[in-house]
Amino acid sequence: MKSKTVSADGRQKAPYLGFMLAVATAAGMATAAYSQSTTPPLSTYGTPGLVELPTAQVFYDGALAFNATKLGSTERYNVTFQVLPRVYGTFRYSNVTNFDRSFDIHFQLADEARFRPALAVGLRDFLGTGIFSSEYFVATKGFGSRVQVTGGIGWGRLAGRNSFDNPLSVFSDRFDNRKAGFTGTGGQLETGDWFRGPASLFGGLSYKVSDQLSLMAEYSPDLYTRETNAGIADIATPLNVGLLYRFKNGVDLKGFVVGGNEIGAQLSYVINPAKRSIPGGLELAPVPVGSRARLAVADWNNSAAGGGVAAVTRVLRSRLENEGLELQGYIPGTRSATIRIENQRWDVEAQAAGRAARIMAETLPPEVEEFRVVFQKDGVPNSRVVTQRSDLEEFQYDYDGAWRTFARADIQDAAGLGRRGELEGTFPRFDYSLSPYAAYSFFDPDQPIRVDVGPQLKFSYKPLPGLNFSGRLRYPIAGNIEDSVRLSNSQLPAVRTDAVLYARESDLELNTLTAEYIWRPGENLFARTTAGYLESMYGGVSAELLWYPVNSRLAFGVEANYAKKREYDILFGFRDYDVLTGHASAYYDFGNGFVGQIDAGRYLAGDWGATFSLDREFNNGFTLGGFFTLTDVPFDQFGEGSFDKGLKFEVPLSWFTGKPSKTTLSETIRPILRDGGARLNVNNRLFGYVRDERGKELRDGWGRYLR
C-alpha cells in the first residue's frame, strides 16, 4: 500500500506525543491528577472559568490541562499550561465554520485575600485569526467553601450584548474604535485592537454541592454573531448554565446549555508535570556502601591472586550492567580510579552517577578513596563526576545526604581522555532494531489529524568512538496522510509545503542514511559532522561546533549546512534545489526550569532571520515549550499564519511508568506549516546531545544521587 509519514514540521515521527497526548489521561489519572479541591473548573475555552466565561483563578505552577468541548455543531480542543505561578497560556484548535487555531494568555494581578477578590487580565485569541478575539479584566471571590462569584468587563467578542462606551477612552480616544476581522493572513499580534471598542459587563457564580458536584450559572455578553450568521447557533438569552461532575480519577465531565438553546458537553483533565506518576519510582534500591574492612577480607575480586585488574574489570562490568550502565573504560589507580560509562537506563544522570559510584565502592580495593565517573556517548567523553569514597560511606543514610555529597563532589569537563582505558570489545559495534511506528500530520483543514503506521528498521555501525554509520527504513502499510489534497501555494521555494507529495509518491522509504562523527576538539568544545540523506526531504552535509563550559548556564554554537532536496520517492535521487543554510545559536538556562535559545541565520528557503525558543523543564524530564521565527519574508508572502511558530512537548517514558528509562516521547506542533523560517532537520544537534551530562543538569538532578 502506498502511504507516507509527514508531521506538522515535515518530519517523520515515531508513535510520539501526537498519540501520547490523547493517552496521557489514562496513563497518569490515578496518581498524577491534581487534588480536585484545588483544581479550578475549566471553561469551554480550556481556561479556569464557569461555562464560557473566564474567572480570575489560575492553576498550580506547571499545571497542564487538556479540554475537549462539543457545543451544538462546533468543537473546541484546548491545551492550557501554567507557565508561571500567575501566568497561563492556552493553545486552541476549534471547528466553527472551519478549523481554526488560536492562542490565549492570562495574567493574575492579585490572588484572593480575606477582603479582596482575585484579579486578572486576559487576552483570548490574541494570536490567531481572531474569531474568538476578546480581552477582559475579571475578579473572583469565594464566600465560604461552596460559593464563588465572578464579575468582569470585556471587549471584542465579550462586548456583544448591552455594550457601552469604552471606559478606557478617558485616557485616549483611540480606544473608541475596534477593527473587525484580522490583518492580512492572520497569526499576528493585533495590538492595535486590544481593549478597543465598546465594552460589556459579564458575571456568574458557581455553587459546590459536594466534592464531586458543582452548579454554575453566568451572564455572557457573547452574541455568537459568526455562528448565528452561519446558521449553526441559536442564542436566545445571555444566560448560560452548567453542571459539573468530578470523577475521583481526576476527569471532569460538564454538561451545559448556552444561550437557552445550544446544548454542550465537555471533558477536562489536569495533570502535574512536576510530579512523577509513581512518587519515588519503581527502581530497585541501590547496593549499600559496605565497610572497607569487609571488602578487604573478600578480596577475591581485586587481588593479584584473584586475577588483578582483569578480575576487577569483569566484576565492574557485570555489576554496572545490572544497573543499566555500560562500562566502556576502566583506568585503575592506587588512590583514585576512573570508569567510563554510558548510561542506558537512568533518565536522571545524577542518579546514574550515584549508582556507578556505589558499584565502585562495592568492588574496588579499600585503599581507593577517589571515584571518577566519566559520562560518555558512543565512546565520546562528556563530563566527569569526582566523589570521595568516605563521603559515600558517611552520607548514604543521611536525610540530606545527597546535597552533602554534592557540596563535596566535583564536576569536571572530560575532554582529552582520548581512548585511554577503553575496554577491549567496546568498538566496533553493530546495532539494529525492527519495530512498528506511527506518524502524525496535524491541522490539515480537511482532516485535523492524519496518521500512518507501519514497520521500521533502524541500524547502525560504530567502528570507532564518535563515528556512526546509520540509517532508517520505513514502510507505511496503513494510513491517510497521502490523502491530503492540500498542495503548496507558496510564493517561496516549496521547501516544506510540498510535504504531501512525499506522502503520495513514496512506498518503501529510505528515511535517513548518514555518516556522523562527533568528537571533542578541546576543553568545553564539542564538534559534529554529518553527511548523507539527513532527513526525509533533504540530503547533504552538516557541520556544527558547540562551546559549552561544564558548569555554565550559557552555551554558544555555530552550524553550517549544504542541503539538496530529495526526490519525492525518498530513495536515492535528488531534485533541482539546493541551498546553503546555517545558524549561530545561543543557549541560556534561566533557572527554575526555563531554558531559552536563539538561532540566527539562513533558512531553507534562503530567508534570513532568527528563531526564539523558550522551554519549561521539570526535574523529571517533562518539558513544554514554544517558539517563533521571524525572517525577512513579509507576512503576506509567508502566507497563512504570517510567521512560523509552534509548541514543543517532551515526556519521559518514566513519567508514565515510574520505571527508569532513557526513552523520551516528543512532538513539535505547528499551527500551520509554511516555507518561511523552515530549518533543516539533523539528528544529534550538539546542545541536546550533550546537555543532560553537563554540570548544571547534573546539579539539578542531584537530589536522586543516593537513590
Query: Of 669, 494, 645, 676, which is closest to residue 188 (Cα–Cα)?
Result: 645
CA distance 39 to 268: 11
Q: Are 628 and 599 in contact (CB under 8 A)?
A: no
The burial of 430, by beta-carbon neighbours within 10 Å (0-12 exposed, 13-18 middle, 19 or more buried), is given as exposed
pLDDT one-digit tens code per residue, 180-221: 766 555 666 777 789 999 999 999 999 999 999 999 999 999
Cα dihedral 183, 187, 188, 194 in deg (nearest 10)? 80
Which residues are 613's β-sheet partners? Answer: 597, 627
Name the percent of the chain lying above pLDDT 70: 91
Instruction: Report the SS3 class of residue 151.
Output: strand
> What does the alpha-carbon distance between residue 346 and residue 621 come to, in Å, rounded to a whole number?
11
Q: Rounded to an integer, what distance in angstroms lies between the CA atom of residue 651 and that of residue 119?
A: 33
Q: What is the pLDDT of residues 299-321, one digit of tens each?
A: 555 544 456 788 889 999 999 99
Would you state the pLDDT for residue 436?
93
Which secondary-structure segment (H or E) carries 700?
helix 695-700
CA–CA gap between residue 190 and residue 127 (Å, rounded)? 8
Is the Cβ–Cβ distance between 493 and 606 less than 8 Å? yes
Residue 299's SS3 state is helix
Q: Which of 83, 23, 78 is nearest to 59 (CA)?
A: 83
The residue to which cell 499545571 is assigned? 63
Residue 445 in grid coordinates: 483543514
The rounded distance, in Å, linking the Cα atoms of 471 and 60 is: 43
At CA 562, angle to CA 558 and CA 566, rounded to 5?
135
- Torsion-angle region of 134 (φ positive above 0: left; ψ -120 to 50: alpha; else: beta): beta
What pLDDT, in 10s, does the model give residues 109-150?
A: 999 999 999 999 999 998 767 889 999 999 999 999 999 999
Is residue 392 classed as helix, strand or coil in its secondary structure? helix
Nearest C-alpha neighbor of 266 from the set 216, 211, 208, 204? 216
User: Of the ranges 167-181, 231-245, 561-575, 581-595, which one carries the lowest mean pLDDT score?
Assistant: 167-181
pLDDT digits (tens, 9 = 90+) for 264-287: 999 999 988 877 777 767 888 888
Query: What mean pLDDT, rounded, does the chain reach?
Result: 88
Backbone φ, ψ for residue 443 (5° rounding) = 70, 25
Cα 83 from Cα 63, distance rounded (Å): 8
Compute the distance between CA of residue 430 and CA of residue 471 in angstroms, rounded to an integer. 12
CB burial string 546-561: b at 16+ within 10 A, e below: bbbebeeeebebebbb
53 CA to centre of own chain: 29
Looking up cell 508514565, which residue turns up? 656
Mean pLDDT of 665-674: 84
Q: Tell me how far apart the alpha carbons of residues 8 and 442 are, in angstroms, rounded to a whole number.
A: 5
Determine contact, residues 18/50, Cβ cutoff 8 Å: no
Report the amino acid identity of residue 540: G
Least confident segment among 56-60, 444-448, 661-665: 444-448
Type of residue found at 543: A
- For 24, 243, 650, the CA distances from 30, given in Å and listed in that order, are 11, 23, 21
pLDDT score at 37: 54
Query: What's the pLDDT band for 478 if we cut at 50, 70, 90?
Result: confident
CA distance 292 to 388: 13
| φ, ψ of residue 423 in degrees (nearest 5) | -80, 145
